[in-house]
Amino acid sequence: MKQRVDLSLGVSKPLRIAVAGHTNTGKTSLLRTLTRDARFGEVSDRPGTTRHVEAARLLVNGHVLLELYDTPGIEEPIDLLALLEQQSSASGSREDGPQRIQRFLASAPAAGQFEQEAKVLRQMIKSDAAFYVVDTRDPVLSKHRDELEILRLCGIPLLPLLNFVAHPAARESAWREALAGLGLHAMVRFDIVAPAEDGERLLYGKLAGLLDSHADILNALIENHAHETRLRQQAAAEQVADLLLGVAACRQRVSTLDASALEAGAHTLNKDVIEREQACVERLLSLYRFYPDDIETAALPLLNGKWQADPFDPVLLQSMGLRVGGGAAAGAAAGAGIDLIAGGLTLGAATLMGALLGGGVQTLRHYGRNLMGRMTGEKLLRVDDTILRVLAARQCGLILALERRGHAAQQRSPVAEALRPVLTDAELPAELRLARANPQWAARGFSMAGDERLQKAISSLSATLAQSMAAMRV
């Protein structure tokens, strides 16, 4: 009878899956990917890194639906299969596969020469099914065939996972032929380091075909994974929207327009923006369950979770084909990244102050009395529109990089393409223009205060950002 799962009442007995295979095929890495835990177990290039069975649980609505068991690599399958055949012949009786495995586990070799293999088989016979992880870069050898023969004796469904199929050295067709020859026709391509967006859905869907009585549990996992993905993407877009609105609302008041005062004001504003962006990076890493040292790329200049170039860096702006400022002094101000609100002039660097004030006679003569009048009295500095575009591109680029990275990856994540603009219109979105007129939105944590207009702006702007990122995922 098909088991029905009522998540409101819980699941009395979770589905148990053993993860088996030869040494160094990616068993522990698979559990890191499925649990989204980059620190589960130990992963290295040394053979036999996992020496004990380790368990992980997957929950939906607080209920454990799936238990995954990471097992040691099988190291001596040829000798073990020979022993199993010898024990079966010596028994003088016809035994099925599970009986042969139980006989072996009760024998002395299970506690000696084949201790590691015994750990695998004990877990196999206690499990409902098993994933057999295949490194398709390896040639199909006799030891692999013997290994599979041994695992099949446990009498539970075995689903091969073809790993590293995108690698140039992959021998996928040879492995498919070998597995089919052993009666294993159901298999799934699953790159553990960089799984496809629908990889887990395909994995659990294929397993459901082998375990009809547990299909409801697996379908619940599939639905929950899709739901969590949507929530995570929405939350990430909201984090970026919150950053952009807060930065757009930032102002720095200066009471005088001498070079030192303007430089100090610009420095304070720049520092504030950099700190806000760094806080957003940390929240995104936490949201996607990564650690600061997981991401470092040329396109995303992150080292230990920190940007190596601030958004005001002229080199960064040039690399993105951007320039700041659009007012009368834009040429002199390019790269400064700060607007003088009265007049919309771009200011913020000591060299610029010298050009406009100390040694800027020709500039002042050129723009006449209007410019001179705008530069008297107390003024407010704010972040240039282009810096907001840089922030949007960097944070959305980070989100896409985190989505492409599997939790089993040991190398820092590469991003093939350079950062792409997210806010592409000539004019900033209306939400950011509204933030310009609401400096109170710049207060740290103000978005949590329940301001209805700000919450509406975050929701609307995050939808725009999500739409742009969705186009980039295609």
Three-state secondary structure call for residue 168: coil
From first to last of its 474 residues, what are the pLDDT tens digits of the chain? 334 444 444 456 889 999 998 888 888 888 888 888 766 644 444 444 445 688 888 888 888 899 999 998 888 899 999 999 999 888 777 889 999 999 999 999 999 889 989 999 999 999 999 999 999 999 999 999 999 999 999 999 999 999 988 889 999 999 999 999 999 999 999 888 777 778 888 999 999 999 988 988 999 888 988 898 899 999 999 999 999 999 999 988 877 667 777 778 888 888 889 899 989 988 998 898 887 766 655 445 555 555 656 666 665 666 666 655 543 223 233 335 665 544 333 443 433 444 333 333 333 333 333 333 344 456 778 888 888 988 998 899 889 888 877 655 555 444 444 577 888 777 889 999 999 989 999 987 766 667 899 999 999 999 999 999 998 877
Q: Beta 338-340 vs 379-383: how paired, if at all? A: antiparallel
Contact (Cβ atoms closer than 8 angstroms) between residue 352 and residue 333: yes
3-class SS of residue 94: coil
* Residue entry with tokens 């420095």: 267
Sign of CA dihedral 373, 376, 379, 382: positive
How is residue 434 written in tokens?
């509204």
- Non-local (6+) Cβ contacts of 59 within 8 A are 65
The whole-angstrom distance between residue 245's C-alpha and the CA centroid of its chain comes to 24
Alpha-carbon dihedral of residues 213, 215, 216, 219, nearest 10 degrees? 170
Helix (H, G, I), strand (E, B) or coil at 467: helix
SS3 (DSSP) at 346: strand
Give CA–CA dist 11/65, Å, rounded. 7
**Residues 252/96, Cβ–Cβ less than 8 Å:** no
Contact 258, 353 (CB under 8 A): yes
DSSP secondary structure string, 260-276?
HHHHHHHHHHHHHHHHH
Strand order in the sheet with 129-135: 54-60, 63-70, 15-20, 129-135, 158-163, 188-189
| This model's pTM is above 0.85 | no
Q: Considering only CA atoms, which of 420, 263, 285, 278 is closest in space to residue 356?
A: 263
- What CATH class has 15-210? alpha beta
Q: Tell me the CB-side half-sphere exposure of residue 472, using CA atoms within 13 A.
A: 24
- Cβ within 8 Å of residue 106, ≥6 positions away: none
Ranges for all domains in the chain classified under CATH 3.40.50.300: 15-210
Q: Are 78 and 142 in contact (CB under 8 A)?
A: yes
Cα 458 from Cα 413, distance rounded (Å)? 29
Tokens in use for 5?
């799962």
